[in-house]
Amino acid sequence: MAAQTILVTGGAGYIGSHTCVQLLAAGHDVVVVDNLSNSSTVALDRVADIAGRSVAFHEVDLRDRVALAEVFDDHDVDRVVHFAGLKAVGESVEIPVAYYDNNIVGTVNLLNAMADHEVFDLVFSSSCTVYGEPEVVPITEDAPIGAVSPYGRTKLYIEELLRDAAAADKRWRTVLLRYFNPVGAHPSGTIGEDPTGIPNNLMPYAMQVAIGRLERLRVFGGDYDTPDGTCIRDYIHVVDLADAHLAALGALDRIEGCEAVNVGTGTGSSVLEVVAAASNAVGADIPHDVVDRRPGDVPCVFADTGRAESLLRWSARLDLADMCRDHWNWQRQNPAGYGS
Ligand code: NAD
Ligand code: UD1
C-alpha cells in the first residue's frame, strides 16, 4: 500500500501506540485523536523516539462532533483505524450507559465525520468477546455471535452498525478485527500496557506480581475440562497485532463491504502455561494460588486464523515466550508504567 495519511483514534493507548509505530515505520503519516481518558502523551513521545518521527496529535473526544470535524478539516485523511473505546468488562457492568455513550456515540460521530469528508475506509477494533461462549474451537468468523457483557455488546452493535452502513452505501469498506488476547510490548521496552489500578487481565497481573507491586497471582479455576484444568486462551503479541492493522488497511483495497477477521495465533495456552512462560522470562517463580473460578470465564477460546491468512495475508510470527520476554522487558524498565 502506498504511503497514506491514517487517522488513528485511541492512538495513545496500548494497541494504538504500537500500531502507530508500525504505521510510521511503513512510511505513513499518522494523525492521532485521543481524549487521554486511559492513556498519556508520554506514549506518543516514545512512539516518536522509536520511529524517528512523530504523529500529529489532537486531544479530542470522539463525542465532540465539532472538534472531530476540525481534525478532518486539518488533515487529508485517507483511511481510519478506530481503537478509541472503553474496554473494562467488569466496569461496563457497573456503568453500562457510560460504555454505550463512549463507544457507540463516539463511533457514530466518527462515521459521520468520515462520510462528511468522503473517507469510507475503516479498520475497527472488535473483540473475540463477541463470540460469547463458543460451541466449537478453533472459532471461525462464521460462528454465532452474542456477547455477554455491556462492553461486548458495544462491540457487537458497532459491528452491526458498520455492516448496515456498508450495505446501504457501497463506498464503505470496513475490516472488523476481532482480537483475541493481546499481550507483550514493543521490544524496545519503552511502550507497553499501563493499566490503571489493579489489572484485570492475566499477563499484566502476573508481571506486576513479578515486579513486586502485587503479592500473588490468583489462578481462577483449576477444575475446567482442559488438560491442566485451567482456562485456555489465544494470546497474541501486540506487535503482531499492530502488523495485522497494516495488513487490514492494505486488504481494504481487495474487499467489498464489511469483513470480520479473527486476529489470534491459532494456538491456545492455559493459565498455568502462561504462568510458567512468564516465570521463565522473569527468571523467578511467579507466586500463585489456584482459587475459585471467575464468573463469566469460558473454558477454551482460540482462533481459526484461516481468514486472516487468506484475506489479510497476515499471520502471527511471535510466540508465548516472545510475548512474556517483551512484556517483562517493558514492566522491568517501567515498574510504574508511564508514571515511572
Ligand atoms: P486502551 O484503553 O489502551 O486504548 C484506548 C484509547 O482510546 C485510550 O488511549 C483512550 O484514552 C482512548 N479513548 C477512549 N474513549 C475515547 C473517546 N471517546 N474519544 C477519544 N479517545 C478515547 O485500550 P487498548 O487495549 O489499546 O484497546 C484498543 C481497542 O481494542 C479498544 O477498542 C478495545 O475495546 C479493543 N480491544 C482490546 C483488547 C485488549 O485486550 N486490550 C481486546 C479486544 C479488543
Ligand atoms: C478478557 C475479557 C474480554 C476482553 C479481554 C481483553 C472477560 C470475561 N473477558 O478476556 O472481553 O476482550 O479480557 O484483554 O472479562 N486469569 C487468572 N487470574 C487473573 C486474571 C486472569 O487466572 O488474575 C485467567 C482468566 O480466568 C482467564 C485467563 O486468565 O482464563 C485470561 O484472562 P484475561 O486476561 O482477563 O482475559 P479474558 O478473560 O480472556
Average confidence (pLDDT) over 53-64: 98
Report the separation in Å between the CA atom of 38 and the middle of ligand 1, taken as the mean of its atom positions.
8
Q: Is the CB of 182 under 6 A from ligand 1?
A: yes
Q: Per residue in 259-271, pLDDT tens?
A: 999 999 999 999 9
Going by their DSSP bridges, the two strands 56-59 and 29-34 should be labelled as parallel
Going by their DSSP bridges, the two strands 232-233 and 269-270 should be labelled as antiparallel
β-partners of residue 261 are 177
Average confidence (pLDDT) over 137-151: 96
Is pLDDT of 85 > 90? yes
pLDDT at 1: 87
**DSSP secondary structure of 1-62:** ----EEEEETTTSHHHHHHHHHHHHTT-EEEEEE--TT--HHHHHHHHHHHSS--EEEE--T
- Please tell me whether the peptide bond between 138 and the residue prior to it is cis, using omega within 30 degrees of 0: yes
Within 8 A by CB and 6+ apart from 278, the residues are 203, 206, 207, 210, 286, 324, 327, 328
Residue 131 amino acid letter: Y
Quick one: cell of 318? 511471535
> In Å, how far from its chain's centre is CA 176?
12
Average confidence (pLDDT) over 52-61: 98
If one residue of 31, 44, 59, 87 were mutated to test the ligand 1 pocket, choosing by the most ligand atoms within 8 A of its CB, it would be 87
Residue 214 amino acid letter: L
Q: Per residue in 25-38, pLDDT tens?
A: 999 999 999 999 99
Q: Is the CB of 102 under 6 A from ligand 1?
A: yes
Q: Per residue in 152-166, pLDDT tens?
A: 999 999 999 999 999
d(CA 274, CA 294): 17
d(CA 63, CA 83): 14
Q: Per residue in 283-325, pLDDT tens?
A: 999 999 999 999 999 999 999 999 999 999 999 999 999 999 9
186 in Cβ contact with 192 (< 8 Å): yes
Is pLDDT of 340 > 80? no
Going along the chain from its start, the domains and CATH numbers come out as 5-185+235-265+302-317 (3.40.50.720)
Q: What mean pLDDT, rounded, does the chain reach?
A: 97
Q: Is the CB of 106 under 6 A from ligand 1?
A: yes
pLDDT at 128: 98
Q: Is the CB of 65 under 6 A from ligand 1?
A: no
Q: Which of 82, 74, 81, 84 is nearest to 23 (CA)?
A: 81
Ligand nearest to the backbone CA of 132? 2
Average confidence (pLDDT) over 110-126: 98
pLDDT at 259: 98
Nearest-5° Cα angle at 267, 263 to 270: 115
Ligand nearest to the backbone CA of 264? 1
Mark whether 235 is an active-site residue: no
**What residue's CA is closest to ligand 1, atom 1?**
13
d(CA 212, CA 210): 5
pLDDT confidence of 178, banded at 50, 70, 90? very high
Task: List Cα–Cα distances, 83 to 94, 102, 156, 332, in angstroms.
Answer: 22, 12, 15, 26
316 in Cβ contact with 322 (< 8 Å): no
